Structure formats: structure tokens, C-alpha cells
Amino acid sequence: MNRATSLRAAIARNTLAGWLNHIAATGSSVIFTPLIVHGFGASTYGTWLVLAQLCGYISILDLGVQSAVLKYVSRARATNDRDAIDSLLSTALALHSVLALTGFLILWLLSPLLIALLNLGEVSWESASAALLVAGLGAALNLPFGIFGAALKGYLRLDLVSWVGVLSIAVRGVVLVVAVLLGLGLIGLAWAASVASLVGGIGSTALFFRQTHWRLRFRIRSEALGQLVSFGLYAVLGTLGWYLAYASDAVVIGTALTTIDVARFGIASTVVVLLSGAVGAFSGSFLPLGSALDAQANGEALQRSYVMGTKIALVIGLPWVIALGFCGPDLLSLWVGPELGEISGRFLRVLMAAYLPAIANSVGFQIALGAGLHRQVALLSAFEGVCHVGLAYVLAVRFGLYGVGIAALIVTFSMHGIIWPLYLSTRLKIALRRYWNEGLRPAFVPALPAVVIYGMFHLVAPDRGGLWRIAAAALVLLVYWFCAVFICFTRGERRAWVQQAKNGWPFDGAVFGRGSI
């Protein structure tokens, strides 16, 4: 198997495993979100979303170490530098162990202030405070355990990380069922998240040791620390920017509005997160791939990866945007009930439109990180985050829940629809015309027949309830993807896929066997 075929097989294997993980996450959300909302109440669910986002800020203390591990492990692997990998992982593990303890202590000290800022509604201060600390403990443990997940990604074994994710989802589901049966409320949700994180961390660590036979060390080496620190400052800015842009809306709504509004936002954003997981299962492979191609100074391959990856990311995500734009309110009402589902579904339309440019730029973002543009990525992400959270708070006070969606629409279209493509076209030396003709335009063409067929279906078969709405959404997806196969990809590309499928791709090697990487 030549190198190009091996890379395609690795990306396919990672994407397939990522989608299985995504299917598990989707099933978990479909089952447990209405169970939580109706079992514990919308106010408890909304409060939990805010606490989960607050705990997520512990990951800022990662200082970009996981991203640096992914980048430099993939680079060292491309040059077969085993000593560099050993030095990097030993240093990163020692550093993250200290940072995990620091993060949890900071959260413990600030927890009274953080809880006091929130409009808790029916939730007691004591239960919110306890849940914050339990969830924070799980988030802190993710720091050292995350090193091994990042290293697996650097070896292009995102499939193993995805399988661990499936296990974590299953464990979380079991704990959630116990929490609902015992009526544990907010603290039960926190324990479910923390136990699932712990199981996932242990699983990633075990698989990494099994695959590489690496010997555990807690040693800080100056050269490796210099690599991590040089990467770290800008990675912190990038992580902070990402959290402000994509993981702060619940906090903004919780301080400016009510926990019921947070619950409505949470139901809509859950759908967006599931879609981002489907796209991310594909685009995530392009960070280590971009790093390897950059190490080999293969600019033409980077350009091809950027254009083709953008097109495929849109083919995956765009039909969902269309289907949920038409059927979102009806589907969410079926899911969680009309009281929350109707408003959440209308809000979802705004969020899906805002997320579309991010889908198109998902591969370019990963390639930029892999190609060593982390400083520029960090600055752009920080700028996006500050603009988003500031505008979201101002518009939330003025227009309520929809103000947050409008802010996301304005900022995301400006950053990912205009600024990012202009920047990447310059750095990758690719013409915007090629980006449009080969990346964007082909993916938008199949949307026309999908919309036409949906309109005809709506006229011929009047709305007859839940099954009709599900069928209408499924029809949009099927028509789009059927047309995309013939419009977006050449006959040669289709034949190559068929041939690879006949040869057993992506299952071309051991999955969990020793030494398979």
C-alpha cells in the first residue's frame, strides 16, 4: 500500500469510527435529553448547561499542550523520531498533572462567586455548588488523561479515540439512568459527566500504552518544555477564543435571562453540537495530516487537501442545515414537547444558519493548526470570541434569546465566511476562485434539487404529523446526498472508493492489536 492510499485509508477509518461515536452521542442525546428535562425539570437542565460550560473553562489551563502534543507527535512520527516523542510526552504529562490540580483549586475557591452570579430559579445554591465541584473534578482529570488521547491523534489513530468515546457515552448513559431513578437531580448529572470523563481518560491511556509500549515517566525536559511553551501562549488565546465564541452562550443567557431560556438554547445547541460532531469526525484528521504535509514541504498536497476537505465537509453538513431549517421546530417539538421544542426549533434555524460558514471552514482551520499557523489561528480565534461574547450579551439584553443567535450569525459569517478564506488563500497560496469553484460551489449545487423535491413533497403530501415530518427531513438528506455523489465527485473518485471498499477499507489492519500504529 503506497503512502497516498495509506493516508486515505487512515482518514476513512478515522471518519467511520468518528461517525459511529457520533451516532452513539446522537442516540444518547435523543434518549436522555427529554428524560432529563421531564425528570428533573427545565430549570435544572438549564442550570446544568451553565455549570458544564463553567467547568469547561478549566481546559484553558491546558495551555495548548494537547494541541502541541498532537502537532509535534505527528511531525516526529513523520520523521521517525522516537526520542522526540518520548521527551514530549513525559514533559507534557508532568506539566498537565500540576495544571489539573491548579485548575480544580481555582474552581473550588471561585465556586461561591460563580454560583452567586447565576439566576438559579428553582435550583438550590447548595446543590448547584456541589454539582459544580463534582463536574469540575472530572474536567480537571481530563487534563493529564487528555495527553494520551492527543498522542493517539498524532499517530492518526482518531478511530481509537472515537471508540473510547463510545464507551464513555455508554457509561454516562448508565449513570444517568441511575440518577433519574434515584431522583439525584443536578448532582446526578454532574456525577454522570465526571464518571464518563474518567472512564474515557483511562481508556485512552490504556490504548496508548498498548499500542506504543511507552514507559510512564514524569520528567520535564527543557527542550520539550520550550516547544510546549512556545506553542502554549497562542494556544491559550485560541482556546479562550473558542470558548468565548462557542461555549459561553449558556453563561451569557444564564446571567442576562433565565434558566428556562438556557434550557431552550441547550436543546437547540445540542442539535448543533451533534452536527459539528459529524463534521468534526471528518475534519479532525486534517490537523495531523496538515502537520505531516507541512513537515514534508508539500504545498500542493496541502492545497488539494484544503479544497477537497472543504467540499466534503459541506457535503456532510449542508443537507442537515437545510433539513433542520425546514423541519426543526416540528422535530424538536416531537423530541422534547411543544412547550420547549417550538421556541427551540425556531432558534435552531438561526443557529444552523450561523454554523454553516464554520462547517465550510472546519478543514481549513485544522490544516492551519497542522501547518504551524497556531499564532495566527489563536489571534483570529481570540478576536472572534471577544466579538461574539460581547455582541451576544448586548443583543440578549435587547432581543432576548434570539439576540444570541443573531450575534452568532453576524460574527461567524464575518470570520469564517470572509476573513478565514481570505487569510488561508494567502498563506496556502491558493486562488479564491479555485476555492469557490472546487470547494464551495459543487457542494451547494445539490441543495437546489433537495429544496425542490421537499417543496413538491410538501404540496403532494400534506402534513400528517410526526412521521410526515421525519420523512420530509429524511427526504432532503437522501436527495441531496444522491445528487452530491454525481455532482461533487468525478467518476474516477467514485471508482477509487468502490475499489477501496472491495479491498476492505478502512479495515485494512488491526484496530486494537499491539503495534498497529
Q: Considering the domain boundaries, does residue 430 fall inside one?
A: yes
Q: How far apart are CA 289 and CA 293, in angstroms?
A: 6
Q: Do 264 and 229 share a structural domain?
A: no
User: So what's the pLDDT on residue 88?
Assistant: 81
Residue-averaged pLDDT of the chain: 83
Taking phi over 0 as left and psi of -120 to 50 as alpha, with beta for the rest, 430 belongs to beta
Q: Do 108 and 63 share a structural domain?
A: yes
Confidence of residue 320 (pLDDT cuts 50, 70, 90): very high
Q: How far apart are CA 193 and CA 65, in angstroms?
A: 23
> Residue 181 is placed in which grid cell?
431513578
Q: Considering the domain boundaries, does residue 502 fall inside one?
A: yes
Q: How far apart are CA 269 and CA 124, in angstroms?
A: 25
Q: How far apart are CA 193 and CA 289, in angstroms?
A: 31
Q: Do 132 and 61 share a structural domain?
A: yes
Burial class (CB in 10 A: 0-12, 13-18, 19+), 273: middle
Cell 496538515 sits at which residue?
290
Q: Considering the domain boundaries, does residue 17 fall inside one?
A: no
Task: Give residue 122's domain range.
Answer: 43-233
Q: pLDDT tens-digit profile of 94-114?
A: 888 888 999 899 989 988 888
Task: Identify the DSSP state of 445.
Answer: T
Task: Compute CA distances 291 → 194, 282, 363, whole Å.
Answer: 32, 16, 13
Q: Do 229 and 369 share a structural domain?
A: no
Q: How far apart are CA 383 and CA 460, in angstroms?
A: 48
Q: Considering the domain boundaries, does residue 13 fall inside one?
A: no
Confidence of residue 361 (pLDDT cuts 50, 70, 90): very high
Q: Do 91 and 47 share a structural domain?
A: yes
Burial class (CB in 10 A: 0-12, 13-18, 19+), 279: buried
Cell 504529562 sits at which residue?
93
Q: Considering the domain boundaries, does residue 56 fall inside one?
A: yes
Quick one: the chain helix, strand, coil %, rounded to 5?
85, 0, 15
Domain count, the chain: 2
The residue from 199, 233, 267 where one domain ends is 233
The reported pTM is 0.76
The residue from 188, 209, 233 where one domain ends is 233
Confidence of residue 217 (pLDDT cuts 50, 70, 90): low
| Candidate from 16-25, 32-41, 165-174 with smallest mean pLDDT | 16-25
User: So what's the pLDDT on residue 511?
Assistant: 33
Three-point CA angle 353, 408, 416, nearest 5°: 75
Q: Do 261 and 191 share a structural domain?
A: no
Q: How far apart are CA 416 and CA 439, in angstroms?
A: 14
Across the range 31-44, mean pLDDT stands at 86
> Residue 493 is placed in which grid cell?
473518485
Burial class (CB in 10 A: 0-12, 13-18, 19+), 190: buried
Q: Do 299 and 212 share a structural domain?
A: no
Most confident of 278-287, 397-406, 468-477: 397-406
Q: Do 369 and 276 share a structural domain?
A: yes
Most confident of 64-73, 311-320, 338-347: 311-320
Q: Do 473 and 418 share a structural domain?
A: yes
pLDDT exceeds 70 at position 407: yes
Q: Do 489 and 397 share a structural domain?
A: yes
Q: Do 485 and 447 share a structural domain?
A: yes
Q: Considering the domain boundaries, does residue 176 fall inside one?
A: yes
Q: Which of 225, 264, 258 is nearest to 93 (CA)?
A: 225
Q: How far apart are CA 265 and CA 396, in angstroms?
A: 12
Q: Considering the domain boundaries, does residue 388 fall inside one?
A: yes
CB 381 within 8 A of CB 346: no
User: So what's the pLDDT on residue 233?
Assistant: 66
Q: How far apart are CA 187 and CA 132, in angstroms?
A: 8
Q: How far apart are CA 200 and CA 145, in angstroms?
A: 8
Q: Do 252 and 205 share a structural domain?
A: no
pLDDT exceeds 80 at position 123: no
Q: How far apart are CA 339 and CA 43, in angstroms?
A: 13
Q: pLDDT tens-digit profile of 409-463?
A: 999 999 999 999 999 999 888 989 999 999 999 999 999 999 999 888 877 776 6
The residue from 233, 256, 274 where one domain ends is 233
Percentage of the chain exceeding pLDDT 70: 88
Q: pLDDT tens-digit profile of 143-154?
A: 889 888 888 887
Across the range 331-345, mean pLDDT stands at 88
Torsion, Cα 265 418 315 366, to 10 degrees, reads -90
Q: pLDDT tens-digit profile of 289-304?
A: 787 787 777 888 888 8
